[in-house]
Amino acid sequence: MNIWEDRKAVEQYKREADVAIPDRREILSIISRLATDDAPESPMIADLGGGFGDLTAAILEHRPMANVELIDLSKEMMRLSRSRFKGDPRVRMEVHDLNLGLPDAWDDGSFDSIASCQVLHYIEPENRVRLYKDIWSKLKDGAMFINGDLFKCDSPAIDRWEFDDRIRWLMPRMRSDAGEGMTFEELKASRLEFRKRMGEKPGTVWQLNEDLRRAGFRHVDLLWKKQCFAILAAIK
């Protein structure tokens, strides 16, 4: 079974997202503001890998007249989104695998912004530049792609240090917010196993910058970073 169709795994991810990702609510706020602040009054925005809808909800909070296309690979995730946005005409939802690029039905140059949060590190590395080219083609001229995601460090030694440091940061949060008490080694082993089960394949921020420029984006900027989480924005 695809791990994203496992209800228990999806519920665990939903339950732990705000606990395990530093300043996740700030990340959602930054991405949603970038996606809407310079957009028209009623922008068309895509939420790639929107999951249970937190980014879409943040976008609609910042720009109530926005229209959002939310796509995600997981039928289980989409079940949660469909329940959350039931009857909301501003949100259209579709099950779609981003490894195949963007939906063929989306017109070129039709989006005022495209955004993603904590998703694209699950895409197979060999499929990423093609996806970024698809994103470039679906954006209007001068429009923005925003990606908040998990990254690895360029140096394996620094990457190992960063992961251990994040486990130390996470330990008191897991006890206070998720009701769990583990030793450092137990929590580290648990998080490594969880990352393996979820199929994480993070690249570096430098690789993303290079890939986005290869896909045709004129400007790429790193706007926010904490530990191994970062937000990059690119202009068509």
Rounded Cα distance between 99 and 104, Å, is 13
pLDDT digits (tens, 9 = 90+) for 5-21: 777 777 777 777 888 88
pTM: 0.93
Which pLDDT band, with edges at 50, 70 and 90, does 176 fall under? low
CATH topology for 3-153+200-235 is Rossmann fold (3.40.50)
Q: Are 232 and 212 in contact (CB under 8 A)?
A: yes
The whole-chain average pLDDT of the chain stands at 92
Amino acid code (one letter) for 155? S
pLDDT digits (tens, 9 = 90+) for 131-174: 999 999 999 999 999 999 999 999 999 999 999 999 999 888 87
Q: Work out whether strand 229-235 and strand 219-226 pair parallel, antiparallel, or are unpaired.
A: antiparallel
For the chain, give the percent of residues with pLDDT over 70.
97
Domain boundaries, the chain: 3-153+200-235, 156-196
Q: Are 123 and 199 in contact (CB under 8 A)?
A: no
Burial class, 86, CB count within 10 angstroms (exposed 0-12 / middle 13-18 / buried 19+) = exposed
pLDDT digits (tens, 9 = 90+) for 35-56: 999 999 999 999 999 999 999 9
Q: Would you state the pLDDT for residue 87? A: 95
Which pLDDT band, with edges at 50, 70 and 90, does 1 fall under? low
Q: Would you state the pLDDT for residue 18? A: 81
Q: At what angle do helices 205-214 and 128-138 cross, to 10 degrees?
A: 50
* Distance, C-alpha 70 to centroid of its chain: 12
pLDDT digits (tens, 9 = 90+) for 111-138: 999 999 999 999 999 999 999 999 999 9
Q: Is the pLDDT of residue 3 over 80?
A: no
Rounded Cα distance between 30 and 34, Å, is 6
Q: Would you state the pLDDT for residue 148? A: 98
Which pLDDT band, with edges at 50, 70 and 90, does 180 fall under? low
Which pLDDT band, with edges at 50, 70 and 90, does 30 fall under? very high
Tokens describing residue 150:
């998990």
